[in-house]
A and B are shown apart, each in its own frame.
Chain A
Amino acid sequence: MLLVFYRARYLLRCLREIYFPTLRQVKGNLDLDLSEKRNKRVLMIVHNDFFNAKGGVESYVLNLYNRIGKSKGGFDFYYLARVIIKIKNTERFIRIKIKIMFFI
């Protein structure tokens, strides 16, 4: 019985995985305003907003960002991450998460 419950939960999560990314994609905000390419470009990808997320990898990338900034050693750096915006409605106890792409 327990295995059936877990199997059903897995299937529901799979369905969510199929449909939610579409919403995420619609909300994606990757408008680029790029100047002429003068240096080689490095795109660094990390899964959470490293300015606010507390994970070890995010802290490490934030340290890199603080030291490297947008240009270093003949390379221009760009960073791509996800941002999770939490909107909390305290009256109705509703918490909404919106996931969007984030680009520097």
Chain B
Amino acid sequence: MSDGNIYSLVNQKLDNLFSEFIFKLQPDIVHFQHYIHFSLTWFRVIKKILPKTKIIVTLHEFLGICPNSGQMIKTKWQGFKLCDNSTVENCKNCFPYLPKDVFERRNINVRKYFKYIDLITAPSNFVLERYKSFGLKNKMLYSENGQEIFRTLPKIKSEKLRLLYLGQINKFKGLDVLLESMNKISNKEVKLSVYGKFQNDKNYNNKILKMVDKLQNVNFYGVYNRNQLPEIFSKHDVLVVPSIWWENSPMVIQESFMAKTPVLCSNIGGMKEKIIDGKNGWYFKVGDSNDLSEKINYFFENIGIFNNENFKVKNIKEDIKNLLKIYKDIV
């Protein structure tokens, strides 16, 4: 039965259905890429019905340790600041209208049910460290997500510095920070293209649209698909990832490296981990449009310093080879 606590990550009403399914399928390994929208109790269900079955969980966000959509960002009650530590007190401050025991129960659930997991993997050491700090003792393994390598097109030369923003448009992705910095750049040789889809936040979407309208050096192209990436990257010099949340292992950074395009990103979390300063990109102070403007100007002067050999990406074939090795070792 659901305990009625939407933050608990537990909903035992789904357990019977899942039990029946697991019993029929008899898997040797259950690999969770997500556990959100299911129930943490599924870990226990697996071990109860099939004790020899191994459970692997790949962490793609901080959902187990942060009730604010797993972003590790404080809520509006705390000014949307970055959260460094997932404690009951911090969570209570983020949700002042909820009793403290909501978060105590949630943390108990995570620690209780994560014990059934045989191996945790993540494409970011930063994420693994956060879960370790939370107190989890599971065996953990860093494993970068492999990418389906797309063909790259040669860069179309230009005297301008052509910046690129790719991805979802929501308040966590920090496009407003980038637009603010574009407003501060007087150099007419710097242009920004924005590709992405708006999410369901009317206030933020309107704010972005108004900012774009006022800026002469920004073009908005809307939704894109993966087939367009070689062409999009061929027309741009730098990818900007201005996220104001930690991120885990942003796929867009891997895609940029595939296209031999340097990345300018916020200096936190899983983004920073992917950048070798001055080799395959650069980073700026998170949320600081002044620092971002300075770094963009720096790029304008120094775009030639990047060597194609520094843009390394893990191939999906290599990833699958590693994955199969993990499976063979664990069963």
Contact = CB atoms under 8 A, between A and B. Distances in A.
Interface of A: 3-4, 6-7, 10, 13-15, 17-18, 21-22, 24-25, 28, 30, 32, 34, 37, 40-48, 54, 56-57, 59-61, 63-64, 66-68, 72-75, 78, 80, 82, 101, 103
A30 B2 contact: no
Given A21-B13, A60-B33, A60-B251, 17 more contacts: A17-B2, A34-B25, A40-B29, A42-B30, A45-B31, A45-B34, A47-B34, A54-B197, A57-B34, A57-B60, A60-B145, A63-B146, A63-B147, A68-B320, A74-B324, A75-B29, A78-B27
B146 A14 contact: no
Interface stretch (B3-11, B105-113, B187-195, B256-264): B3-11
Interface stretch (B16-24, B78-86, B125-133, B294-302): B16-24
B14 A25 contact: yes
Nearest to B33: A46
A3 B13 CA distance: 30
B37 A43 contact: no
Contacts of A24: 14
A18 B4 CA distance: 5
B6 A17 contact: yes
8 contacts: A3-B97, A4-B97, A21-B13, A34-B24, A41-B26, A45-B31, A56-B60, A101-B17
A18 B2 contact: yes
Contacts of B230: none
B32 interface: yes
A42 B327 contact: yes
Contacts of B251: 56, 59-60
Contacts of B197: 54
A78 B22 CA distance: 11
Contacts of B316: 63-64, 67
Contacts of A66: 148
A35 to B, nearest CB: 12
B17 A28 contact: yes
A45 B55 CA distance: 11
A89 to B, nearest CB: 20
Contacts of A78: 25, 27
Looking at A6, A25, A43, the one whose CB has the most chain B CB atoms below 10 A away is A43
A82 to B, nearest CB: 6
Interface in B286-331: 316-317, 319-320, 323-324, 327-328, 331
B38 interface: yes
Given A22-B13, A63-B148, A56 B250 contact: yes
A67 B320 contact: yes
Contacts of B148: 63, 66-67
Given A17-B6, A30-B20, A72-B320, A40 B11 contact: no
B89 interface: no
B194 to A, nearest CB: 17
Contact of A64 (B11, B320, B328): B320
Nearest to A23: B13
B21 A21 contact: no
A43 B97 contact: no
A3 B77 CA distance: 10
Contacts of B16: 25
B273 interface: no
Interface in B19-70: 20-22, 24-38, 60
Nearest to A63: B148
A17 B320 contact: no
A18 B168 CA distance: 31
B135 interface: no
A21 B2 contact: yes
A85 B26 CA distance: 28
Given A28-B17, A40-B331, A45 B24 contact: no
Contacts of B37: 47, 82
